Amino acid sequence: MSSHYEAPIREPLVLGEKSYHDISVDVGAPILGKANKSWWIVFTIALVAFLWGLGCIIYTVSTGIGVWGLNKTIGWAWDITNFVWWVGIGHAGTLISAVLLLFRQKWRMAVNRSAEAMTIFAVVQAGLFPIIHMGRPWLAYWVLPIPNQFGSLWVNFNSPLLWDVFAISTYLSISLVFWWTGLLPDFAMIRDRTNSPFQKKIYGILSFGWSGRVKDWQRFEEVSLVLAGLATPLVLSVHTIVSFDFATSVVPGWHSTIYPPYFVAGAIFSGFAMVQTLLIIMRKVSHLESYITVLHIEYMNKVILLTGGIVTVAYAIEFFIGWYSGVPYENYTYLSFGAATGPYWWAFWALIICNFVVPLTLWVKKLRRNIVYTFFVALIINIGMWFERFDIIVVNVSKDRLTSSWAMFQPTFVDIGTFIGTIGFFFVLFLLYARTFPVIAQAEVKTILKSSGESFKRLRAEHGDDSSHIQKVEEYPADAGPAANVEGKHFDTVFDDSDEEDLENNSVDLELHKGKIDTLLSGVGTFNPEVQKQDDLKKINGIGPVMEQKLHQIGIFTFDQVSRMTDREYDLLDEIISEFPGRAKRDDWAGQALMLKNKN
Amino acid sequence: MASRKIHAIYTDDDLLMQAVKQTRAANYHISEVFTPFPVHGLDHAVGIAPTRIAITSFLYGLLGLSVAVLMMNYIMIQDWPQNIGGKPSFTFYQNMPAFIPIMFELTVFFAGHLMVITFYMRSKLWPFKKAENPDLRTTDDHFLMEVDADNHDVEKLTKFLYDTGASEISLIENEQDH
């Protein structure tokens, strides 16, 4: 039988006492429950920003690109800056889902879904800019090599801008099918767990009728592997081609052979920063701290450190070669003494501080594992990587070979509004995603639960690596009856506690524990049957009919009461009901009750 | 033809693996297994052939590469050769370095999309397709093994499956085989 062994030195990737069912419950909770107030507030802000940006786009298209702050010298500014910035952000998702899959990194399971979603939404934003920049976006199909009415007027396959068309659309569509294929089993889980007929219908359509046959899974795994193998060079090619937009030109500062690897590293750098920004918020809002742990955040910080290091080395090389070439024009490029002291000094130093100095602090383990600090650093890197693209584009072209045409760039409200609009659009999409999609690849997390789950790791530590709960099944011949490999776990089976316990003879000695019960109720609040309705406490994992009966006798009837339990109340409860010491705490009844309460 | 199946439900992947092996060793025929997640090595244990979908992907990739070469050769060399930035356009061979990015992209495009479409067709997955997992819990945390009961003593088979650790066993009678 397959071994679930994993070196004990590796920290668990799934915290708490989780069973397969718990994973389904936790991942399904944001979809099956209702949105809270903070979701609506953030969604409204994002929607307003999006509508504002939409207005700016309509204004641009109806009036002309003259509404942007471009001038004769700087004919490319925020539009292409934002394009490259968004494409760069869109690199982390496929890196996590493809490259880390090839390297068999288990920690990718908890973050790949959201990272891929982020990729797709970011590439959508990126794609908007070239289309707006066309001026007449309804003619966007002219970039495709289709026979047309102008004789044989074909697109130019020698141009990196056309390579971009092919690279970005391949990247977007491949990422989309990769993402969707991975989503099928998770949509199926929601489809089979929801009680609402509407959700059942919608998720039935979205899941493409996924049934989970062994042959389907076999193909599913092969398809994922092959797609990962295809997407890995693809993700490298996309930003390489984006860098060709600049590198194949003769503008000083753009004409640079290290652009492809440098751009790819920068893209992954910024993409991971955005993943951190989103996931640190999402794990909190959607209660996914058990799956997206501080270890995941540390791993991503290590990737940021590595790619940030590559980017820094590239900066140093650019700076050195600019100086070493002895070409006077090179002293005005974005990484040069001239840039550091020139009119764009602030943009130069923003780049150095945000992308080089601040990420260096992540070498300190304490800071790398500090969630608030990581969030702060990720935001700074997002800003810094925007400045990197701004510097490459605006600073490089602001000082032309002709001194007479030197100019500065002044963005108009339309430039700014369009950019803010894409941020709004991105968050609108991501927030809708977070409410309607399974945000963690639960089927994949289930495959690593036994090797990397905290409770299973502890079982191995207690019973030795070779005699885990699984071995129990193997030791006893199958004819020993239904194999009870549920030791230490509590799957919902027909053999659950309820069958074995005596429902009749089941009462709490109220007189004996009177004092304790009073203290307990003063902690969690009392139940008033006239104004309150009692909840089905059995919904809490770990509470069976017997336990519910006992809780009722004590006077606990609602999720609200259970959710207020702390360690003190758990201890009291254990003293009153002595059969299951520690169980309430282990199952985190309060946490579960809180979720159930919010759902109602 | 009426066919009878027995559905045995397990609550653990390792238990299922053991049951699959025991069932196969006892010469019963497992017609299907439904699991909530990919159980490593289960396809081998059930005895289904390895999938050939990776091979199709390779062939689709070759197709994409050919499409890219033929398209760019026709457009840039045959139909309307132009001098763009001094890049030689007399033969495909000379102009090819500029074509490599799109040759690569189209290879990936064809290999990826056609493989996924093949996967969806072969596994019968598309919008509005009805799910066929017999028990809703098999997408959550239960594992269902379907065993052919034709030509077998159902009592004995049930007892056997019970002993392999099945938590629920049900007999399914189908009117027609498909």
> What is the ipTM score, two decimals?
0.94
For the residues B164-171, what does the mean pLDDT come to? 88
Lowest-confidence region among A587-596, B55-64, B83-92:
A587-596
What whole-number distance in Å separates Cα of residue A131 and Cα of residue A57?
10
Contact criterion met (CB below 8 Å) for B14 and A449: no
Amino acid at A85: W
Please state, in angstroms and rounded to a whole number, the distance separating the CA atoms of residues B26 and A375.
Answer: 57
- Give A432 to chain B, closest Cα distance, Å: 21
pLDDT of residue A35: 76
CA distance A83 to A420: 13
Query: In B, which residues are within 8 Å of A210 by CB distance?
Result: 125, 131, 139
pLDDT bin (cut points 50, 70, 90) of residue A296 is very high
Q: Given an 8 Å threshold on Cβ–Cβ distance, is A162 in contact with B17?
A: no
- Nearest residue to A519 via CA among A554, A563, A558, A559: A554
pLDDT band at A223 (very low <50, low <70, confident <90, very high): very high
Alpha-carbon gap: B102 to the closest alpha carbon of chain A (Å): 6
- H/E stretch holding B146 reads strand B143-148
Return the structure tokens found at B18: 């053991």
Q: Are A179 and A120 in contact (CB under 8 A)?
A: yes
- Considering only CB atoms, which chain A residues are within 8 Å of B13? 450
According to the model, what pLDDT value does residue A529 have? 75
Residue where the block lists tokens 């300190």: A364
User: Can you tell me which residue has the tokens 């359509």?
Assistant: A205
For residue A467, the model assigns a pLDDT of 52
The shortest C-alpha distance from A240 to chain B (Å) reads 10
Give the list of residues 6+ apart from residue A526 with CB closer than 8 angstroms, or none. Answer: A555
Interchain CB contacts (distance < 8 Å): A and B = 247
Query: Chain B residues with CB inside 8 Å of A208's CB?
Result: 120, 125-127, 129
Q: Is the pLDDT of residue B88 over 70?
A: yes
Place of tokens 């899974």: A217
**How large a percentage of chain A has pLDDT more than 70?**
90
Q: What does the pLDDT average to over A116-125?
A: 94
| pLDDT at B3 (0 to 100) | 82
User: In degrees rounded to 5, what are phi and psi of residue A362?
Assistant: -70, -10
Average pLDDT (A248-265) is 89
Q: HSE of A400 in the Cβ direction (CA atoms, 13 Å)?
A: 12
Give per-residue pLDDT as tens, A350-384: 999 999 999 999 999 999 999 999 999 999 999 99
Residues 6+ apart with CB under 8 A from A420: A49, A52, A53
A475 touching chain B per CB within 8 A? no
State whether residue B95 sits within 8 Å of chain A by CB.
yes
Contact status, residue A457 vs residue A8, Cβ threshold 8 Å: yes
pLDDT of residue A285: 85
Work out the minimum CA distance from A226 to partner chain B, whole angstroms: 7
Of B17, B51, B102, the CB nearest to A218: B51
How confident is the model over A477-497, as a mean pLDDT?
41
Residue of B76, B89, B105 to mutate when probing chain A, most A C-beta within 10 A:
B105
Token pair of A302 as six digits: 């290590």
In which residue are the tokens 């767990």 written? A193
A562 or A214, greater pLDDT: A214
Give mean pLDDT, residues A97-112: 88
CA–CA gap between residue B19 and residue B2 (Å, rounded): 26
A213 DSSP assignment: B
> Is the distance from CB of A345 to CB of A385 less than 8 angstroms?
no
Does B123 reach chain A within 8 Å, measured CB to CB? yes
Task: Examine the pLDDT at B177 and tell me if it is beyond 90.
Answer: no
Q: Which chain A residues in 415-454 lie under 8 Å from chain B, judged by CB atoms?
A: 443-444, 446-447, 450
Q: Spell out the residues 6+ positions from residue B54 whose beta carbon is closer than 8 angstroms to its own.
A: A222, A225, A226, B115
Supply the pLDDT for residue A483.
Answer: 42
* Segment A299-329, tens digit of pLDDT: 999 999 999 999 999 999 999 988 898 888 8
CB of B109 within 8 Å of any CB in chain A?
A: yes
Q: Shortest Cα distance from B62 to chain A (angstroms)?
A: 13
pLDDT value at position A490? 42
CA distance A195 to chain B (A): 12
* Pair of tokens at residue A78: 């925020």
* Residues A221-238, mean pLDDT to the nearest whole number: 93
Maximum distance among all Cα pairs of chain A, rounded to whole angstroms: 97
Select from A59, A110, A117 the least CA-distant residue to A426: A117
pLDDT of residue A580: 66
For A312, how many CA atoms within 13 A lie in the half-sphere containing its CB? Answer: 16
Burial class (CB in 10 A: 0-12, 13-18, 19+), A209: buried
* Least confident among A230-234, A331-335, A346-350: A331-335
Q: What residues 139-178 of chain B have any CB closer than 8 A to a CB of chain A?
A: 139-141, 162-168
What strand order describes the sheet that includes B3-10?
Answer: B30-34, B143-148, B3-10, B168-174
To the nearest whole Å, the CA of B21 is away from the closest chain A CA by: 10
Of A167, A214, A495, the CB nearest to B43: A214
Task: Check: pTM over 0.95? Answer yes or no.
Answer: no
The residue of chain A with its CA nearest to that of B18 is A1
Chain A's closest residue to B61, CA to CA, is: A230
Which domains are delineated in chain A? 1-18+453-476 (no CATH), 20-146+157-452 (1.20.1630.10), 500-600 (no CATH)
Question: What pLDDT is stored for residue A514 in this prediction?
Answer: 73
Q: Show me where the domains of chain B are located.
A: 3-36+141-174, 53-122
Question: Is B165's CB within 8 Å of A482's CB?
Answer: yes
How high is the pLDDT of residue A478?
42
Give CA–CA dist B15/A487, Å, rounded: 13
Instruction: Give me the residue from A170, A178, A207 closest to B109, CB to CB.
Output: A170
C-alpha to C-alpha distance for A469 and A459, rounded to whole angstroms? 8
DSSP one-letter code for A522: H
Window A:21-60, CB contacts with B under 8 Å:
21, 24
Does A481 contact B at CB distance below 8 Å?
Answer: yes
Q: Which residues of B touch A495 (CB under 8 A)?
A: 167
**Mean pLDDT (whole number) for A553-566:** 82
What is the arithmetic mean of pLDDT over A392-401?
Answer: 89
Whether the predicted pLDDT of A480 surpasses 70? no
Of B48, B112, B166, the CB nearest to A215: B48
Judge: A491–B11 Cβ closer than 8 Å, yes or no: yes
CA distance, residue B12 to nearest chain A CA (Å): 8
Most confident of B84-98, B106-120, B133-147: B106-120
For residue A566, what are its two tokens?
């702390």
* Residue B151 confidence class, pLDDT cut points 50, 70, 90: confident
What's the confidence (pLDDT) of residue A465?
65
Give the pLDDT band (50/70/90) at residue A485: very low
Average pLDDT for chain A: 85
Chain A contact present for B130, CB below 8 A: yes
**List of chain B residues whose C-beta atoms are within 8 Å of the C-beta of residue A212:** 34-36, 133, 138-139
The CATH architecture assigned to B3-36+141-174 reads 2-Layer Sandwich (3.30)
Give residue-wise pLDDT tens across range A127-140. Answer: 999 999 988 999 88
Question: With helix as H, strand as E and coil as C, how does A379-435 read?
Answer: HHHHHHHHHHHHHHHHHHHHCCCCHHHCCCCCCCHHHHHHHHHHHHHHHHHHHHHHH
Segment holding A479, helix H or strand E: none
Among A217, A231, A470, select the one facing B38 at the smallest CB separation. Answer: A217
Taking the Cβ of residue B92 and every Cβ of chain A, the question of whether any pair is shorter than 8 Å is answered with: no
Measure in Å the smallest separation between the Cα of B1 and chain A Cα atoms: 24
A410 has a chain B CB within 8 A of its CB: no
Report the pLDDT value the prediction gives residue A492, as an integer from 0 to 100: 43
The predicted pLDDT at position A2 comes to 47
Mean pLDDT of A404-417: 92
* Nearest-neighbour CA in chain A from B72: distance (Å): 7
In this complex, do B18 and A193 lie within 8 Å of one another by their Cβ atoms?
Answer: no
Q: How far apart are the C-alpha atoms of A524 and A330, rounded to whole Å?
A: 71
Closest B-chain CA to A218: B43
pLDDT on residue A45: 95
Tokens matching residue A509:
């000695």
Whole-number percent of chain A with pLDDT over 90: 47
Query: In a mutagenesis test of the A interface, which of B141, B142, B164 is the best target, namely the one with the most A β-carbons within 10 Å?
Result: B141
CB proximity B42 to A under 8 Å:
yes
For range A183-205, the mean pLDDT: 92
Res. A68: pLDDT tops 80: yes
- Both tokens assigned to A338: 């001239």
Q: What is the average pLDDT across A464-471?
A: 54
The angle, 0 to 180 degrees and rounded to 10, between the axes of the packed helices A294-324 and A108-133 is: 40
Report the C-alpha gap between A122 and A430 in whole angstroms.
10
Q: Residue A498's pLDDT band (boundaries 50, 70, 90)?
A: very low
The one-character DSSP state at A556 is: -
In this prediction, residue A39 carries a pLDDT of 86
Please list, in sequence order, all residues whose beta carbon lies within 8 angstroms of the beta carbon of residue B112, skipping any fewer than 6 positions away. A174, A177, A178, A227, A230, A231, B57
